[in-house]
């Protein structure tokens, strides 16, 4: 019988994997199962151009529907996998049927971390949102109208991108962040203050070191009317027409753990994207993988990672062994300004900035033992390529030359 690869999750990683298999000449059946109503699509525009109304739905799709037919990829949208039966190599679907596999790839991504506050149990709030999918944007978009008051809980990329879109659409925006500065887990203080200033100048208000104490609901418990908080212990109440919660992602690992596979902040895989079961792989946001860059394990949430991890899995499924040597990188867009990040700055000893932080273009390099381990490049796409080379080459650099805009970055990476 013809070999069959079943992919669970028709997102960025699952979509890349399915087409990658065909491009590499895979001849067996490829089934791509997704529980959303859409074919694989890009999520980054959800908090940017799509929310703003500048990107059409069809432009989100990774590939036109006809491509799946042409590639003979059996795409089944609206199809949820409920369980994996490893002994019979089958998955159980939401409609009660079962589907056999020879190889199974879990590309289940993650879901928005819910807000956990006392008193919210059982409440179905019509104006409390999170942002992970097209349907999330469709649910909130009608409330993104001038004059409405938006409270955003969480100062990560999604919260900041939504803040940027919302003030541009004429909403009044206040963003609440538990840490003393924005993006504190992923970037240095120099970049945090740059981003904060960028937003403040456009009218976004911030409450930092802020504890959200509760949501004030209407009598029917269907609408949030206000948010109670305390900044440095000082209590405050903010009115809200709508609230967006952007406090991170929970990886979708339940299928794997119920099937007895190892899960530890993601589905544990080796450098070839394989779980301990040789017939089951996991890729993308849901997977915890070894990293050649950190020397440890890592779970990444980014498009470049989803694409690279799919490439590794395609190689494995084609009988090759091609572990990743990629350096993590990510981008964000706020007010038309491109922010690009490469590497992970954790444990850096020195931050060298290049260009004035008051301007629109600015880079920050994170050094450890005189080597650049990470960089944040704002508004300078050409410099980002050189920054990537600096991080991957691991060459020692002279900090004063690195900070001197007159010295071409490329000359340091050489």
Would you tell me which residues interact with ligand FAD (CB under 6 A)?
Answer: 8-14, 33-36, 43-44, 46-47, 80-81, 107-109, 131-132, 158, 252, 255, 284-286, 301-304, 306, 330-332
Rank residues 164 and 229 by Cβ distance to ligand FAD and give the closer one: 164
Rank residues 67 and 228 by Cβ distance to ligand FAD and give the closer one: 67
CB contact set of 96 (below 8 Å; sequence gap of 6+)? none
CB of 184 to ligand FAD, least distance (A): 18
CA separation, residue 329 to residues 78, 103, 183 (Å): 31, 29, 15
CB contact set of 385 (below 8 Å; sequence gap of 6+)? none
CB of 309 to ligand FAD, least distance (A): 8
Rank residues 157 and 223 by Cβ distance to ligand FAD and give the closer one: 157
CB of 227 to ligand FAD, least distance (A): 21
Rank residues 196 and 285 by Cβ distance to ligand FAD and give the closer one: 285
Rank residues 307 and 372 by Cβ distance to ligand FAD and give the closer one: 307
Strands 172-176 and 205-207: parallel
CB of 63 to ligand FAD, least distance (A): 14
CB of 54 to ligand FAD, least distance (A): 15
CB of 47 to ligand FAD, least distance (A): 4
Rank residues 142 and 147 by Cβ distance to ligand FAD and give the closer one: 142
The count of residues in the chain is 414
Rank residues 150 and 229 by Cβ distance to ligand FAD and give the closer one: 150
Are 348 and 366 spatial neighbours (Cβ–Cβ below 8 Å)? yes
Strands 149-153 and 242-245: parallel
Rank residues 62 and 123 by Cβ distance to ligand FAD and give the closer one: 62
Q: Looking at beta carbons, which residue is closest to ligand FAD?
A: 11
CB of 34 to ligand FAD, least distance (A): 5
Are 6 and 31 spatial neighbours (Cβ–Cβ below 8 Å)? yes
Rank residues 109 and 229 by Cβ distance to ligand FAD and give the closer one: 109
Tell me the C-alpha distance between 295 and 301, whole Å. Answer: 18
CB of 29 to ligand FAD, least distance (A): 18
CB of 246 to ligand FAD, least distance (A): 8
């Amino acid at each position: 019988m013809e070999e069959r690869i079943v992919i669970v999750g028709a997102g960025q990683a699952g979509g890349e994997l399915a087409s990658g298999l065909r491009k590499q000449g895979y001849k067996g059946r490829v089934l791509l199962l997704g529980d959303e109503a859409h074919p694989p699509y890009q999520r980054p525009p959800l908090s940017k151009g799509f929310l703003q109304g500048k990107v059409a739905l069809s432009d989100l799709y990774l590939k036109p529907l006809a491509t799946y037919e042409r590639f003979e990829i059996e795409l089944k949208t609206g199809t949820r996998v409920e369980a994996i039966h490893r002994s019979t190599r089958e998955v159980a679907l939401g409609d009660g049927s079962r589907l056999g596999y020879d190889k199974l790839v879990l590309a289940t991504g993650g879901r928005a971390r819910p807000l956990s506050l006392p008193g919210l149990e059982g409440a179905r709030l019509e104006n409390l949102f999170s942002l992970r999918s097209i349907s999330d944007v469709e649910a909130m978009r009608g409330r993104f109208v001038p004059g409405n008051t938006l409270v955003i809980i969480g100062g990560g990329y999604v919260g900041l991108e939504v803040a940027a879109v919302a003030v541009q659409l004429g909403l009044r925006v206040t963003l609440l962040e538990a840490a003393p500065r924005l993006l504190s887990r992923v970037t240095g203080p120099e970049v945090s203050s740059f981003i904060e200033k960028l937003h403040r100048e456009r009218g976004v208000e911030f409450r930092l070191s802020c504890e959200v104490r509760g949501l004030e609901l209407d009598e029917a418990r269907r609408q949030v009317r206000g948010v109670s908080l305390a900044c440095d212990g000082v209590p405050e109440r903010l009115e809200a027409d709508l609230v967006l919660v952007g406090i991170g992602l929970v990886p979708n690992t339940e299928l794997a753990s119920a099937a007895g596979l190892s899960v530890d902040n993601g589905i544990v895989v080796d450098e070839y994207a394989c779980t301990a079961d040789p017939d089951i792989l996991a890729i993308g946001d849901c997977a915890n993988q070894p990293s050649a860059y950190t020397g440890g394990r890592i779970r990444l949430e980014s498009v470049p990672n989803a694409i690279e991890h799919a490439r590794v899995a395609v190689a494995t499924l084609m009988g090759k062994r091609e572990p990743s040597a990629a350096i993590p990188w990510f981008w964000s867009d706020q007010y038309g300004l491109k922010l690009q990040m490469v590497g992970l700055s954790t444990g850096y000893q020195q931050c060298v900035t290049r260009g004035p932080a008051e301007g629109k273009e600015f880079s920050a390099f994170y050094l450890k033992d005189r080597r650049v381990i990470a960089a944040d490049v704002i508004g300078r796409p050409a410099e980002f390529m050189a920054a990537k080379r600096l991080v991957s080459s691991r060459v020692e650099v002279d900090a004063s030359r690195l900070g001197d805009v007159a010295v071409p970055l490329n000359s340091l990476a050489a």
